[in-house]
Amino acid sequence: MIAIYPGSFDPITFGHLDIIERGSRLFEHTIVAVLGNPNKQPLFPVSQRVRQIRACTQHLPNVEVDSFAGLTVEYARQCNANVLLRGLRVLSDFEKELQMAHTNQTLWDGIETVFLATSNEYSFLSSSVVKEIARFGGSVEHLTPELVALDLYQCFAKTPPTVKPTAIEPSPPPTPPRVCDSKKNFHA
């Protein structure tokens, strides 16, 4: 059975990875589908989010990472998937996700939505929270994989909190700019 785990993943967090790993144990094949959502202004472009997720899930042989635009049920139909995998953190997530599950079923009766409760240690975590912390120079290595944390620090032109340069160290060589828009306002 093939499951689709759709989302914007901007950026991917340890909470997302928890759902992906658990989903990979439940389903033969899990496709993490990065949505280019026209209602959101992403920090990272879809291609960069796909690369980040691929790097973070390379240890899971039955997980594939892809991107799509449009209706999730149409993408699922194209992939021969009949399960949508969704994570639930809080009660308000359930209300929104249940409405979406019912809507998706009206679009295609061959789709089912499976909800996984987020592990306790990630119940507070969202991509918005991670971006807000990084934007103001806080440490995010405990919330998202290291490579994503580094992308966030570079995007917001912040020195990672764990690295404290001293006056006697030479300046590092300039690094090429990453594609992101750090001028957007994010609120937790």
Indicate which residues carry an active-site annotation: 16, 40, 89, 127
Tokens of 172: 């590092």
Is 40 marked within a binding site? Answer: yes
Query: Residue 85 pairs with which residues in a beta bridge?
Result: 114
Is 87 marked within a binding site? Answer: yes
Tokens of 85: 């995998």
Is 97 marked within a binding site? Answer: yes
Is 113 marked within a binding site? Answer: no
Is 44 marked within a binding site? Answer: no
Residues contacting 65, CB < 8 A, separation 6+: 31, 32, 34, 50, 53, 54, 57
Residue 97 backbone phi and psi in degrees, to 5: -70, -35
Is 43 marked within a binding site? Answer: no
Is 89 marked within a binding site? Answer: yes
Q: Please, what is the end-to-end C-alpha distance for the chain in angstroms?
A: 36
Residue with tokens 């001028």: 183
Is 86 marked within a binding site? Answer: yes
Is 9 marked within a binding site? Answer: yes
Is 72 marked within a binding site? Answer: yes
Residues contacting 4, CB < 8 A, separation 6+: 30, 31, 33, 72, 75, 76, 79, 81, 83, 84, 85
Residues contacting 41, CB < 8 A, separation 6+: 181, 184
Query: Residue 33 pairs with which residues in a beta bridge?
Result: 6, 66
Residue with tokens 């992308």: 151
Is 15 marked within a binding site? Answer: no
Q: Which residues are annotated as a binding site for ATP?
A: 8-9, 16, 87-89, 97, 122-128
Q: Which residues are annotated as a binding site for substrate?
A: 8, 40, 72, 86
Q: Which residues are annotated as a binding site?
A: 8-9, 16, 40, 72, 86-89, 97, 122-128
